[in-house]
Amino acid sequence: MNNLIEAELTSHRETIDKVIGTLKPVIEKACRLSIDTLKNGNKILFFGNGGSAADAQHLAAELSGRYKKERRGLPGIALTTDTSVLTAIGNDYEYDYIFERQVEAIANAGDLLIGISSTGNSGNIIRAFNKGKELKCSRLGFSGKGGGKMNECSDINIIVPSDITARVQEMHILIGHIICQAIDNEY
């Protein structure tokens, strides 16, 4: 058991060292984009599948509730929480449309879409980003494993340098928290 724990912690540390060494400039751009979106009176829409859906909800809650400091609530919305909407769209169209239809219904020009996918290839996120481009929304990807198709449809794609899903997901929530801290510092 001790070897397993040591191996997991070492793997995490190696990934974070790679993130520190390569992603600081792109994380800074993501922070600035998020801050500018909110300061311009727009909202941030988060979405992902599975564990990434949970991360989307978590980060949206950090904005609309609070992260660390007491400040006014900010418009962070997770498109993963309304089971009636998700199941209606999934049933009436296809699962690949669950975020695209919500973006079409809710997003305005200037809003920021944050799509979270450990592979960068989730079809429903790609469709939502393409719809967001039509609507003149900014598109920020959180991905890993080379960035996948999100490389082509994101304004910024934060690609965690790992092929291990657990490491990618751990870095996504850490990077999300860094963005939340940058937003807190502005409010």
Radius of gyration of the chain (CA): 16
pLDDT value at position 89?
A: 98
Chain centroid to CA 56 = 6
pLDDT value at position 133?
A: 98
pLDDT value at position 166?
A: 96
Dihedral angle over CA of 20, 23, 29, 31, nearest 10: -50
pLDDT value at position 98?
A: 98
Q: Which of 114, 29, 150, 16 is nearest to 159 (CA)?
A: 150
Helix (H) or strand (E) holding 159: strand 156-160
Identify how many contiguous H helices and E strands the chain contains and give both numbers: 8, 5
pLDDT value at position 187?
A: 94
How many Å apart are CA 41 and CA 110, to the nearest integer? 9
What domains appear along the chain, each with residue ranges and CATH number? Answer: 2-186 (3.40.50.10490)
Q: Hey, is 140 helix, strand or coil?
A: strand
pLDDT value at position 18?
A: 94
pLDDT value at position 120?
A: 97
User: pLDDT in tens for each of the 187 residues of the chain?
Assistant: 889 999 999 999 999 999 999 999 999 999 999 999 999 999 999 999 999 999 999 999 999 999 999 999 999 999 999 999 999 999 999 999 999 999 999 999 999 999 999 999 999 999 999 999 999 999 999 999 999 999 999 999 999 999 999 999 999 999 999 999 999 999 9
pLDDT value at position 36?
A: 98
What's the length of the chain?
Answer: 187
Give me 32's structure tokens.
């600035």
How many Å apart are CA 124 and CA 98, to the nearest integer? 7
> What backbone phi and psi angles, to 5 degrees, belong to 47?
-160, 155
Q: Computed from CA positions of residues 143, 99, 112, 82, in that sequence, does the dihedral angle turn out positive or negative?
A: negative
How many Å apart are CA 187 and CA 177, to the nearest integer? 15
pLDDT value at position 85?
A: 98
- Identify any residues that bridge with 45 across adjacent strands, giving them in sequence order: 77, 113
